[in-house]
């Protein structure tokens, strides 16, 4: 990283065990803020400059409320934790009020067509996103011991917001998952014979609490990368999980090949999971727990999807 200041922020976050994605996101918004203020050092800016920046994101860039909130969180961290110059609790800026779009949902026939078309290498991760409602990063970060075959469930650790939850596991995925675990075990056995291999990445303080766990099979990723990489934080040789960008590209390409005329992303599979559960009569609280939503109002967006379709208001045309 060319900027000494941003490098210092990055190192500060690394030492405090921030997630890699959080570091990248915060650095993006901090850099954006610095450029917005004609490259002034952030310590020479404060409340009014932050207010102008956040209002600019709303007025000129028309960002979504969640995007503006992430930018505010990044600057709050910068001033409170890094510069030790906390922002005012009463910042006055124009808040984004862009109406959220209804989620794109695939029909059951489109889901079947999608899975009939997708390449076998990425079929199982996508089946987990649709079959268990997992987010993209929750899928790629799954570890072998997260699968409970006895109770047909998956343990999700440190999902969005740092929350843990258990989700359903379709019985149809038991056999493919066991085969995938055997595949991951081949990598594991090969790596254990490599004297330079230092085990899998362990989250937070678990590496100190369980020093031998990093070389246990259960802690290794279900979907391992094809090659070993150096841990950017510890500078040690490890095997990471598959890269999420490859999965994103595959989902888009599959939708195109299947001639599905919708904007299909990895999250579309999760949206479809929630909507199809509700269509089958599942209780909204159950769906909320499966998705890991803190507020049931977030889950209720899927009821709007159903209501605006064939299950909603009867058209007067039907009475003619």
Which of 10, 79, 135, 197 is catalytic? The answer is 135
Burial of 184 per CB tally in 10 Å (0-12, 13-18, 19+)? buried
Annotated catalytic residue 122: no
Report how far residue 258's alpha carbon sits from residue 48's, in angstroms, rounded to the nearest whole number: 51
Would you say 233 and 244 are in contact if contact means Cβ atoms under 8 Å apart? no
Residue 169: name the closest of 144, 189, 149, 145 by CA. Answer: 149
Which of 35, 43, 95, 160 is the catalytic position?
160
Give yes or no: 302 in active site. yes
Q: Counting Cβ atoms within 10 Å, is residue 42 exposed (0-12), middle (13-18) or buried (19+)?
A: buried
Asked about 193 being catalytic, the answer comes back as no
Q: Is residue 135 annotated as a catalytic residue, yes or no?
A: yes
Please give the Cα distance from 111 to 274 (Å, whole number): 13
Question: Of the listed 270, 280, 297, 304, which one is catalytic?
Answer: 270
Lookup result for tokens 């085969």: 179
Give me the active site residues, please.
135, 160, 267, 270, 293, 302
């Amino acid at each position: 990283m060319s900027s000494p200041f941003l490098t210092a922020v990055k190192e500060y976050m690394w030492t405090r065990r921030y997630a890699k994605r959080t570091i990248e996101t915060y650095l993006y918004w901090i850099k954006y803020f610095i450029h917005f203020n004609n490259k002034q050092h952030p310590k020479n800016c404060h409340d009014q400059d932050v207010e102008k920046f956040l209002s600019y994101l709303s007025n000129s860039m028309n960002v979504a409320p969640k995007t503006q909130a992430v930018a505010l969180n990044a600057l709050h961290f910068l001033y409170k934790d890094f510069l030790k110059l906390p922002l005012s609790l009463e910042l006055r800026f124009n808040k984004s009020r862009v109406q959220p779009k209804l989620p794109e949902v695939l029909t059951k026939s489109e889901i079947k067509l999608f899975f009939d078309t997708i390449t076998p290498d990425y079929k199982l991760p996508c089946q987990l996103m649709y079959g268990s409602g997992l987010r993209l990063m929750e899928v790629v970060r799954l570890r072998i011991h997260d699968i409970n075959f006895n109770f047909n469930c998956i343990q999700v650790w440190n999902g969005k917001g740092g929350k843990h939850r258990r989700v359903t596991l379709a019985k149809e995925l038991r056999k493919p998952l066991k085969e995938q675990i055997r595949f991951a075990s081949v990598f594991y056995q090969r790596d254990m014979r490599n004297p330079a291999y230092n085990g899998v990445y362990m989250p937070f303080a678990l590496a100190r609490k369980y020093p031998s766990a990093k070389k246990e099979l259960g802690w290794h990723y279900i979907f391992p990368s094809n090659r070993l990489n150096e841990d950017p934080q510890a500078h040690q040789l490890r095997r990471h999980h598959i890269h999420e960008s490859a999965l994103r590209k595959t989902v888009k390409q599959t939708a195109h090949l299947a001639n599905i005329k919708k904007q299909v992303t990895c999250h579309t599979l999760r949206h479809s999971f929630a909507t199809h559960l509700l269509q089958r009569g599942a209780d909204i609280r159950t769906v909320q727990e499966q998705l890991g939503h803190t507020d049931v109002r977030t889950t209720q967006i899927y009821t709007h999807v159903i209501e605006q379709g064939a299950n909603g208001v009867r058209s007067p045309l039907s009475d003619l």
